[in-house]
Amino acid sequence: MPLSLSRAALRPALRTGALALAVAVPVAAVAETGAAPKPNVVEEHFRGAGPWVVATTDVTAADGLTYRISHPRDLGRDGFTHPILVWGNGSNATPALYNGVFRQLASWGFVIIGSSDKQQADGHSMLAALNWMLAANLDPAGTFFGVLNPTEIGVLGHSQGAGGAVNAANHSGGLVDTAVPINLPDRRYVERKGAFSVADLPTPTLFLGGGTDGLISTPGGLRSYYQRVPRAALGILRGADHLAIQRTGGGYLGYLTAWMMWQLQHDAYAGSAFIGRDRKDTEFRRNTRWQDQQEKGLI
């Protein structure tokens, strides 16, 4: 079902409360103790669970797809409205394989939805899932009535679903605010099915990949994609293979969470990992757990 809501129509008082639960900067990160600052403090902070207790809701949509939604148990607490994240599965996978990512992001106040569609390259089912969430926010009889922030939306996905995330961002009619493709396949894998154009991405984009993913989503391929997007960051996790994001989320969780907190909850501490006075001396750039770190156009 096509999206019928425009960005302009979704700029109401729902933005009120979007920062109500802004996470405080950890004292250990800023205290003047005289000791050398701990490296990678932002990544460490956001790789842990957030302040929200997580619940999971499974629903069957009218089109027959099953949606898995991970979300804070106390939705809308203290007037907070939750940013929406839409997930794209890798080939033949389901959201159950990405439980670590779903629970992590929900613990930081996001509502994340993924569908049972195992072939998401074109992004259509991701946009259908987004449409379902936007309708749920307007349904007074539903769980999500009035507790979502439809002006803060992100898409993310793994492998084939990373391509789906690019397509969803490109074809959302301006609804999507940021995209995180994880292990986006090299161009030779997508020329015939689910082709996408990273050059058309209208949103800040974080490309994530694995240092040992030498066949499907190579570091060189990701660098090529990064170079074609005007507002983007790139990070390759050392020692991670193509499937490292599955199950627990592995070493991706810290900066993935920080990016979404920065882009959609406007958390300045999270953003400090990626930007600073010296763009070549940020925590993200210095972090030896990663390689090929770059960023541009994010200020």
How far, in Å, are 104, 147, 196, 215, 290 from residue 154 at the CA level?
15, 16, 17, 27, 23
Q: What pLDDT does 191 receive?
A: 58
Instruction: Flag whether pLDDT at 245 surpasses 60.
Output: yes
Domains of the chain: 38-296 (3.40.50.1820)
Instruction: Flag whether pLDDT at 140 surpasses 80.
Output: yes
Instruction: Over range 5-29, report the average pLDDT.
Output: 41
Q: What percent of the chain has pLDDT over 70?
A: 86
> Which residue shows structure tokens 């949103």?
203
Query: Among the listed ranges 11-20, 106-115, 156-165, 252-261, which one has the minimum average pLDDT value?
Result: 11-20
Question: Across the beta sheet with 178-182, what order do the strands follow?
Answer: 54-60, 66-72, 111-115, 82-88, 148-158, 178-182, 205-210, 232-237, 290-296
Q: What percent of the chain has pLDDT over 90?
A: 80
pLDDT one-digit tens code per residue, 55-102: 999 999 888 899 999 999 999 999 999 999 999 999 999 999 999 999
Give me 152's structure tokens.
């803060």
* DSSP conformation class of 250: G
From CA 122, how far away is CA 119, in angstroms rounded? 8
